Structure 1
């Protein structure tokens, strides 16, 4: 159960908006504790998140408040496939430009997409398909290492300003990084953007961060979890050593979530309670909301 402030933050709303949606539209009906204070369960937070996304896309709350959750999900799915003509072909066009080393074309298209698309559309219909296509082209030899690095550096330069907004905020955040020896960053960027799109506070530190630096930042900035990406199979033995060192350096209770191709192997080989393989973006989002909710309810 979450109090008003935590439920509002987890769903991306202000407490004032949440109260107004309850009072005027009965969008959710909260539980009450023995002192009469409103409490929200996980299903209510999920519903509020759906409502927030749909109102961001122009749907009036008065039309949404009476709808069942499955109807809201259908409306969300429909809204992903309408509007923003030409977006579906954009990732392919951008990678074709990189294949010809037309960096200016790639950067122009990416800049326009960031400037004109809502974050959720940017993530779902540009960045995620772009990352997937980079992986496919790199695997079958259509994309050279240098070209993959170009995509990574251009994405990083343009998206960091989105991910690391409000650096002075006091809220606890999710830290995203890779361990030493792991330079691949595209999957990490994608995971961080999914978390950001879901309204979670993100602290993105990039690649090859020393273990003790991760632990130090986690302590100083009140990080609620550490999200790491490990992709290169050749780095798996070194990652095992680094993760054991990280487990000893982190404060008790701070979880470590690993994504990427090596995630399941690392988690199983380590068998450490706080280290968990998290390979699906929405699973990461759910874990992040749970951690933040627990922190806010204390």
Structure 2
């Protein structure tokens, strides 16, 4: 996917090096919780902001946020919310990202990742990515949904996928691969909600003057989220696409190509074990139409499974944004 960029935008104005008080929405995005969750914690456990603007609008100080970070860390480890709130409220306040305070003195920043040992290995990413990861680890489905909808609305589908969603999915996969079958539930929950969010993307009116693009995972390939993202991105631009999802059998793929007469066929392979050179050759050789005016589709291969191989007659796609541009260039006008 596209290169991950750090989000350098400040979350609030700063004075004398100290982060100013933030709104509930800004804090929710920072921590990866739904705003309703913060209000619920305040109502149930009295873990709320120290000040309010005009007596109504919540403004969270760095000390308030540090307590919320501690509560998020504890709940991510399985501590019940009520107990986590008591522990967070009784702990000496520290500025966000600092180590625990001892004897009234703040220590140097801690090397422990937010969320404790359950935190995902994210590296240098947007703040929204960290929030989404924390929500996923907590299995906080409402927060995951809210964060996905917010990042899609603010950044658009391509940027949201390449700089927030995909890095989080990759981090979950790495965590699962190195944790002895743990965190499978995190991967499943996050994948389900990402798929649901992609289906909520509003499509433009589909063009009727051009043939569709056929999107499918190769036989045996169950990882369909990247192709779902491509289908949604094409739908945003009004480009007709027909999505067949994971593990489409070769015979069914052949029949679909012959019936649809697509402008292009996109074949996704996550692993080398599913990337099939002979399938590419077969799809490239499918023709339709009357004699003398026969047509065949452009074959586009996508996914890490195709890396390192040569596939004559096929064009390799790299990243969601460039994939959309390549497909769009196939259509006139």
Whether TM-score is above 0.5 comes out as: yes
Q: 1:246 aligns with which of 277, 283, 289?
A: 283
Instruction: Calculate the aligned-residue CA RMSD, in Å.
Output: 3.5
Which protein has the bigger helix share? 1
CA distance in 2 between counterparts of 1:103 and 1:188 reads 23
Does the CA contact (< 8 Å) of 1:164 and 1:204 recur in 2?
Answer: no
Which residue of 1 is the match for residue 187 of structure 2?
148
Does the CA contact (< 8 Å) of 1:98 and 1:147 recur in 2?
Answer: yes
Distance change >3 Å, CA 127–CA 193, structure 1 → 2: farther
Q: Does 2:217 align with 1:182?
A: no
* Structure 1 residue 171, shift from structure 2 partner: 4.1
SS of the aligned residue for 2:158 comes to: helix
Does the CA contact (< 8 Å) of 1:92 and 1:130 recur in 2?
Answer: no
Distance change >3 Å, CA 229–CA 164, structure 1 → 2: farther
* Structure 1 residue 288, shift from structure 2 partner: 1.8
CA distance in 2 between counterparts of 1:262 and 1:277 reads 11
- Structure with greater Cα Rg: 2
Matches of residues 151-230 of structure 1 in structure 2 within 5 Å?
151-162=190-201, 171-197=210-236, 200-230=239-269
Which deviates more from structure 2 when the two are superposed, residues 167-176 or residues 92-101? 167-176
Q: Deviations over 1:249-297 (max 9, x none)?
A: 454430111111122434x0x43x2x2212233442333233111xx6x
Q: 1:284 aligns with which of 312, 318, 323?
A: 323
Unaligned runs of 5+ in 1: 1-79
Matches of residues 87-166 of structure 1 in structure 2 within 5 Å?
88-111=126-149, 113=151, 117=153, 121-125=156-160, 128-140=163-175, 141=178, 144-162=183-201
Structure 1 runs (4+) greater than 6 angstroms displaced: 80-85
CA distance in 2 between counterparts of 1:103 and 1:112 reads 14
TM-score by length of 2: 0.51
Does the CA contact (< 8 Å) of 2:218 and 2:249 recur in 1?
Answer: yes
